[in-house]
Structure 1
Amino acid sequence: MEEKDYRLERDSLGEKLVPKDALYGIQTQRSKENFPITGLRTHPMMVRSLGMVKKACALANYRTNHLDKERLDYILQACDDVIAGKLNEYFVTDVIQGGAGTSVNMNTNEVIANRAAQLAGRELGKYDYIHPNDHINFGQSTNDVFPTAGKITCLFLVDELLNELQLLQEALLDKSLEFNDVIKLGRTHLQDAVPITLGQEFHAYATSLVRDIRRIKIAFQNLKSVNMGATAVGTGLNADENYRRTLIPILSEITDIDLTSARDLIDGTRNVDPFVWAHSSLKTLGVNLSKMCNDLRLMASGPKTGFYEIILPARQPGSSIMPGKINPVIPEVVNQVCFQVFGNDVTILKAAEAGQMELNVFEPVLFFNLFQSIEALSHACATLRCNCIMGIVANKERCADLVDISLGTATALAPHIGYANASKYAKQALAENKKLKELILEAGLISKEKLDEVLNAREMTRPGIPGMRRHKRKKEDK
């Protein structure tokens, strides 16, 4: 670009050229030059949240007589443009930056000030009518605006995650009903255990997600407490005494979130532990999702030499060299999302711990990782449900065959022939490659009728002692 394509702006550090038609200003230009880090810009939902915060602040300043009606109207129109995403191209600061988010806050202040000036028919970059600091940022600091907008962003984003989690949980429940009659072998230590139904396993997956949904709701509820009005260190310097009381109800109405003012603004400004707790609920979800996907990959392993108890939907060819190979790509990608979330959790706890005195300056990287975790988990839940869970088919014959040849059923014999005998014949069956049932009949330890009852795999998936339930009922009848 030629020099005529730029305008000259000034700040306390001197002069700098800014693209002529840009709605941002000199401080944003400095941040572009100082922080060429990731190439990723401020999250669009964060931009929207910042627009909402600035709109609420403008209304609060007007109602406390610190902003006139004429300027207010232009500022509100500019804020609405930000909220609608019309000005996203001008939010150019990198997601990871020094300054505790000051660059993002000033990017927002400059865009709104210039857009308002534009609406008023005034020149861009001339802040004599509407100033980024004196009007847009009046009664505020980056240290209350940035964390508040971050909390609002989290609350917006987590709604989609909770919705996807609910849908995934329902899909798992549907599969638990579909697979209710599919008896398979349970495994502990990756060794044969006792029978279980595939439906019971899928019901357990759904139950874990119920806990995750509850945990996430509780943890994110704490983000509704914001520190607006705290200004620089939490003392409220340069904010009208009525400003905070006026602001919070306005911001709640604009966001449609029931926000509250932090009880202790100094604590609310210096400590970011609510974000650590919020992300820990996402990390826990990641643990459950990843464990579930590990199970799915194991149960689908094969098809000839693995468990092959379930058949996952074929989503794409699995190899560039092995014809016909199909891989469990959907569980694999969900595993990887969870690994990313675990790494994000370390970054967030380090960022929170590294805060000093009255401010945590590492919120930019904290928010980057927190937003990423929420969105990635939302997308992971959606693809797991649509591209995997809903299309899973039970390999009933394979499940039945594995139960039939397993020695885990010896567990049901212990109450009838003793643990030592059950163990003895289980080892013999393995050594001689015979069926356990045949050896027990040969030994004459129990009648065939009774043995059939005891070794009924369906009975083993229910509470109680197989072979004694009927006897107990007869006694109760007498």
Structure 2
Amino acid sequence: MHSGKTRQESDLLGMKEIPAEALYGVQSLRGFENFHISGVTMQQYPNFIKGMALTKKGAAIANHKQGLLTDEQLRAISQACDELYEGKHHEYLISDMIQGGAGTTVNMNANEVIANRALQIMGKELGAYEFCSPNDHVNASQSTNDAYPTAFHFGLYLESEKLNEAFELFIQSLEKKAGELDSVIKMGRTQLQDAVPMTLGQTFRGFANLLKADKKKLEAVQHDLLCVNMGATAIGTGICSQPGYSKLCIEALREITGWDVTLADDLVAATSDTSVLVGYSSAIRAIALKVIKICNDLRLMGSGPRCGLHEIFLPEMQPGSSIMPGKVNPVIPEVMNQVCYKVIGNDTTIMLAAENAQLELNVMEPVMVYSLFESINLMTNGLHTLRTLCIDGIRPDVENCERQVKYSIGIVTALNPIIGYKNSTKIAKEAMQTGKGVYDLVLEHDILSKEDLDTILAPKNMIEPVKLEIKAKH
């Protein structure tokens, strides 16, 4: 609660009244007033704030080594950064995630909060910036154009850990379900038409393996986030920093985080380059496309219950209609589809924003950062929901699966290597015309003995390559 009292702070544009207890300052307030855009502030993504805290602490350590900060200033700034990392004072990070200024509002919001908290630690009044300044001390040797990208790289790196865990658990859930369903025979389908038999276990194992390669790609692009441009300052030339600052800053960041933080080879190139965000977003988009396929298949396989495929029972989560009694819809795969569509839309936003890098900077970074944080968060929550409320609870409709296989014309394909394509076509055509089963027609035409036919059509002989020493009678 604010006391109602204010303090005055000034900047290039003049004086403003700041709530007396607020850790933010004049530039934070201007940004807050200017950008009522998404309604989503940094507070919604604590890892972004943590990334900023790590960045500012690393810079402070480097600046102290170069004589730009006193021992007292370093201790106070470091403690303020540590507190932000621990989740304190986040209510003062008031910047909208989408803003003009290439992230300057976010950077200054962090600078002001850290500076004012450092002043409290030093026993000074809020706003007494002669003792610890947002610009001269917290932002020393930095520009928004290197501090902001480093902060969101680190924030996204932390955020991605949650996605990695959710993704791994989801793959494990699919593999477990595959093991449970290995003995359940069903019809495979191509172009929505009956094809050849397989097992439900093969279906779910296929889902898991579909995603495994993407997990490695996701981890690779996550590591790319650890390459930063600290020391680039405004455009990559390092103006306003001292020789050796970049090296000292990277060393400090590596020690603070324990991560494999590296400095970009060309700071001018890196300052306008957002390809790492494009790459990470593309990796999530690839996952989204495959998850859409999985969810669409689940909805088809669960369709019915009387007039659809109904190979599986999807967990019943809620009544499905306000007018149709007894109807239950596949709401969890449906919501996951929508999550994936949003992720793909965010990827398009990121692509367009990346394309708008001009000269020495890409000023569209804020919408890219917001979109990527949102995509990671949506995909993480979606995968947890799909796993716990759908995949884990799926049961097979064994009787219906077996019935569909038995009466499918598609099983004639299993006979093709034995009785030949011509005979197989003849049997299939007659089955279509008469409604008789393939099994009965083969016996009726005396093409195979019942014993041989049962061997060929045994489930284990239809779901993997097999060599059978059986010949047709004619």
TM-score, length of structure 1 as denominator length: 0.95
Counterpart of 2:223 in structure 1 is 221
Is the 8 Å Cα contact of residues 101 and 142 (structure 1) preserved in structure 2? yes
Show the counterpart of 1:303.
305
Q: Is 2:224 aligned against 1:206?
A: no
Residue 39 of structure 2 aligns with an amino acid whose one-letter code is G
1:275 alignment partner AA: L
Task: Give the percent of matched residue pairs that are identical in Structure 1 and Structure 2.
Answer: 47
1:114 touches 1:124 (CA, 8 Å); kept in 2? Answer: yes
Give the Cα–Cα distance (whole angstroms) in 2 for the partners of residues 459 and 387 of structure 1: 34
| Residue aligning to 1:121 | 123
Q: Is the Cα–Cα contact under 8 Å of residues 9 and 18 in structure 1 kept in the other structure?
A: yes
Check conservation: 2:4, 2:19, Cα contact below 8 A.
no
Q: C-alpha separation between the residues in 2 aligned to 1:76 and 1:252?
A: 15
Task: Select between 164-173 and 343-352 the one with higher mean Cα deviation.
Answer: 164-173
Once the two structures are superposed, what CA deviation does each residue of 1:405-428 show, in whole Å capped at 9, x if it has no partner? 100011122222221221122121
2:90 match: 88
Distance in 2 between residues matched to 1:161 and 1:29, nearest whole Å: 33
In structure 2, relative to structure 1, the CA distance for the partners of 1:341 and 1:305 (3 Å cut) is same
Q: How many residues align?
A: 469
Alignment gaps of 5+ in structure 1:
472-478
* 3-state secondary structure, aligned to 2:152: helix
**Native 8 Å contact 2:2 2:21 kept in 1:** no
User: In the TM superposition, what is the alpha-carbon distance from 1:159 to its structure 2 partner?
Assistant: 1.1
2:362 alignment partner, one of 360, 363, 368: 360
Q: Which moved more, 1:3-12 or 1:227-236?
A: 3-12
Alignment RMSD (CA, Å): 1.6
> What stretches of structure 1 move > 3 A for 4+ residues in a row?
1-4
| Separation in structure 2 between the aligned mates of residue 408 and residue 310 of structure 1, nearest angstrom | 20
- Counterpart of 1:243 in structure 2 is 245
Corresponding residue for 1:28? Answer: 28
1:107 aligns with 2:123: no
The amino acid of 1:8's aligned partner reads: Q
Please name the residue that 1:475 is paired with: none
Q: 1:384 aligns with which of 379, 383, 386?
A: 386
Distance in 2 of aligned mates of 1:27 and 1:224: 29
CA contact (8 A) 2:340 2:379 kept: yes
User: Residues 200 and 2 from structure 1, CA distance in 2 versus in 1: closer, same or farther, beyond 3 angstroms?
Assistant: closer
Q: Greater shift after overlay, 73-82 or 330-339?
A: 73-82
Task: State the distance in 1 between where 2:440 and 2:281 align.
Answer: 55
- Match for residue 456 of structure 1? 458
User: Do the aligned partners of 1:23 and 1:110 also contact (CA within 8 Å) in 2?
Assistant: yes
Q: Secondary structure at the match of 1:408?
A: helix
CA–CA separation in structure 2 for the residues paired with 1:328 and 1:252: 47
Partner Cα separation in structure 2 for residue 4 and residue 220 of structure 1: 45
| Match for residue 321 of structure 2 among 316, 319, 335 | 319
- For residue 476 of structure 1, what is the aligned residue in structure 2? none
Shift of 1:72: 1.4
Q: Distance in 2 between matches of 1:71 and 1:271?
A: 33
Q: How does 1:183-198 map to 2 (within 5 A)?
A: 183-198=185-200
How much has 1:323 moved relative to structure 2? 2.3
Q: Is the 8 A contact 1:183 1:458 kept in 2?
A: no
| Alpha-carbon contact 2:194-2:410 (below 8 Å) kept | yes
Q: Deviations over 1:48-90 (max 9, x none)?
A: 1101111111111111111111111111121122111211110
CA distance in 2, matches of 1:304, 1:342: 34
Distance 1:2 1:95, change over 3 A: closer
Measured at CA, do residues 256 and 418 of structure 1 come closer, stay the same or move farther in structure 2, by a change above 3 Å? Answer: same
Shift of 1:320: 2.4
Report the residue type matching 1:219 in the other structure. V
1:442 to 444, 450, 472: 444
Partners of 2:433 and 2:118 lie apart in 1 by: 85
1-side partners of 2:52 and 2:283: how far apart?
A: 25
**Pairing of 1:150-165 with structure 2 (within 5 A):** 150-165=152-167
Shift of 1:373: 0.9
Does the CA contact (< 8 Å) of 1:16 and 1:26 recur in 2? yes
Distance 2:261 2:372 in 1: 20
| Cα distance in structure 1, aligned partners of 2:2 and 2:165 | 50
Structure 1 Cα separation of the partners of residues 316 and 377 of structure 2 = 25
CA drift at 1:217? 0.9
For residue 367 of structure 1, report the CA deviation from its aligned partner.
0.6
User: 228-237 vs 311-320, which deviates more?
Assistant: 311-320
Gaps of 5+ in 2: none
C-alpha distance in 2, partners of 1:443/1:369?
A: 64
